[in-house]
Amino acid sequence: MGRTLAEKVWDDHVVTRGEDGAPDLLYIDLHLVHEVTSPQAFDGLRQAGRPVRRPDLTIATEDHNTPTLAIDKPIADLTSRTQIETLRRNCAEFGVRLHPLGDAEQGIVHVVGPQLGLTMPGITVVCGDSHTSTHGAFGAMAFGIGTSEVEHVLATQTLPLKPFKTMAITVEGELRPGVTAKDVILAVIAKIGTGGGQGYVLEYRGSAIRSLSMEGRMTICNMSIEAGARAGMVAPDRTTYDYLQGRPHAPTGQDWDDAVAYWDTLATDDDAVFDAEVFLDADELEPFVTWGTNPGQGVSLSDVVPAPESFDDPHEQAAARRALEYMALEAGTPLKEVPVDAVFMGSCTNSRIEDLRAFASIVRGRTKAEGVRVMVVPGSARVRLEAEAEGLDRVFTDFGAEWRFAGCSMCLGMNPDQLSPGERCASTSNRNFEGRQGKGGRTHLVSPLVAAATAVRGTLSSPSDLEADEPAAVDAALLAGGAR
């Protein structure tokens, strides 16, 4: 019987095969490290007198806790500063490559790996961060781990793991203008639920996935964890190779040819069988938005806030009731009538150059809605430089947005970038949990295009709403690219 993409990558990393219910020992090709989930792991190594086994397969950056303003000044918050300094000390002591704040390669760990060409097809990637699933866009097996496992990988470059089950998510058809990868993944999560992917690695397939850029594929794989899945993957193809080739750490010469020959063998075999299958029709999809406090509580933007009674499952009913109370929303309200206080454009889900271009394509030449605070946070220092070279920073500041330095920022509000209690935000990030973006903050997850249109109009909006206001300008923006 044939094998799936996930099974092939798994099999090629088995150091020892587990017997009698024991896990396989899996080799890890690339370990990404950041300041928040690593200090206790390095401490563990020190206590046991163990070195980092493969510093040459390990790379660290500072992202979760770092400020996005005045990055040349000492970090004001002492516990934040201590955590950053601890990472710097640990990396120096254990010989781990670090890109600190201020470095051209600093940024969100899931933006940095792909941009350096370290993320590639057919490898295993781990990081003490659940959004490590992002790297699966390249056909890598990439998943988030806890701090004990971070220590385990630092010490052994392996992890004991039971094989994941496999689920095919097939999206066939063509996305309409204004409908993006973010809308696809929000629709997937709404369909299978926040627990639907538990124990699975998801493989995204079908014509709509194949036609996505690498940035779009990363957005989709990134949020696999929001469906409960360990990982998400897309089979590598010409789009993958074109994105990768020429990046600093991409293979070259004979290595490149050998790699491509191997990568071409990774696609799921025709006779492979998935443990579960889900189908979505791309033509049917509309811009999506969440109304509740978990990423599965989402609907089309043209819809209304659902009534808790409309759910069959009693847990979902209770969760919906609680969510509406927290979000201060009434069932039956059209989502497009919901006003926002803030728009956050950033996070490991949507902060790459293409995302910024998409946002810019809508806000260019416009002025933000009065009273709405708009923050644009590039995913990495490199993305920031690229955006500035294209003049996007001017587009954002002319619009009235704040143009910040790179980091996780308001996605999780570990640094000063937070919502105030009761503030409502249209956010391109990945989690709308209670208090995620700041205590009492209310989050609506959206795509960069919806975030941009919302920033223009002040209420949750899609680009087509702007089209109704002023048709010609939006047509031109969508045609100019970035919409996909």
Partner 1 sequence: MRPVTTVTGVAAPLRQSNVDTDQIIPAQFLKRVTKTGFEDALFHGWRQDPEFVLNQPAYQGARVLIAGPDFGTGSSREHAVWALRDFGFDVVVSARFGDIFRGNSGKQGLLAAAVSEEDVERLWAVVEAAPGTEATVDLESQTATVGDVTVPFEVDAYTKWRLLEGLDDIGLTLRDEPAITSFETRRATWRPETLPVK
Site for partner 1 in 27-86 (CB under 8 A): 27, 29-30, 36-37, 39-40, 43, 48, 50, 55-59, 64-65, 77, 79-80, 82-83, 86
Cβ-based neighbours of 325, under 8 Å, separated by 6 or more: none
Helix residue spans in 193-301 (DSSP H) = 207-210, 214-222, 238-244, 253-263
| Residues that contact partner 1, how many (by CB under 8 A) | 85
Residue 409 DSSP label? G
Which CB, 130 or 211, lies closer to partner 1?
Answer: 130
Is residue 103 a contact point for partner 1 (CB under 8 A)? no
Stretch that binds partner 1, among 26-34, 233-241, 269-277, 330-338 (CB under 8 A): 26-34
Angle, helices 392-399 vs 353-363, to 10°: value is 40
Residue of 239, 433, 458, 473 that binds partner 1 (CB under 8 A): 433
Of residues 301-330, those binding partner 1 (CB under 8 A) = 315-316, 318-319, 322
Stretch that binds partner 1, among 277-285, 298-306, 396-404, 407-415 (CB under 8 A): 407-415
* Smallest gap from residue 10 Cβ to partner 1 (A): 14
Which CB, 5 or 285, lies closer to partner 1?
Answer: 5
Is residue 413 a contact point for partner 1 (CB under 8 A)? yes
Which CB, 82 or 211, lies closer to partner 1?
Answer: 82
Of residues 250-269, those binding partner 1 (CB under 8 A) = 251, 255-256, 258-259, 262
How far is the C-alpha of 11 from the C-alpha of 334, rounded, in Å?
Answer: 49
| Helix or strand (DSSP H, E) at 423 | none
Which CB, 164 or 399, lies closer to partner 1?
Answer: 164
What is the side-by-side strand order in the sheet with 24-27? 14-16, 24-27, 158-161
- Cα 365 off chain centre by: 28
First vs last C-alpha separation in the chain: 36
* Smallest gap from residue 311 Cβ to partner 1 (A): 11
Strands 298-300 and 165-172: unpaired
Of residues 145-164, those binding partner 1 (CB under 8 A) = 145-149, 151-152, 155-158, 160, 162
* Smallest gap from residue 30 Cβ to partner 1 (A): 5
DSSP-derived secondary structure for 285-333: ---EEE-SSSTT-EEETTSBPPPGGG-SSHHHHHHHHHHHHHHT--TT-
Of 106, 466, 69, the C-alpha closest to 287 is 466
Of 336, 335, 340, 390, the C-alpha closest to 364 is 390
Stretch that binds partner 1, among 142-150, 329-337, 396-404, 462-470 (CB under 8 A): 142-150
Is residue 336 a contact point for partner 1 (CB under 8 A)? no
Stretch that binds partner 1, among 225-233, 344-352, 371-379, 385-393 (CB under 8 A): 225-233
Of residues 272-301, those binding partner 1 (CB under 8 A) = 294
Which CB, 130 or 213, lies closer to partner 1?
Answer: 130
Residue of 431, 442, 444, 457 that binds partner 1 (CB under 8 A): 431
* Smallest gap from residue 145 Cβ to partner 1 (A): 6
Residue with tokens 């002319």: 398
Q: Does residue 216 contact residue 181 with C-beta atoms inside 8 Å?
A: yes
Q: What six digits make up the tokens of 324? A: 């509406």
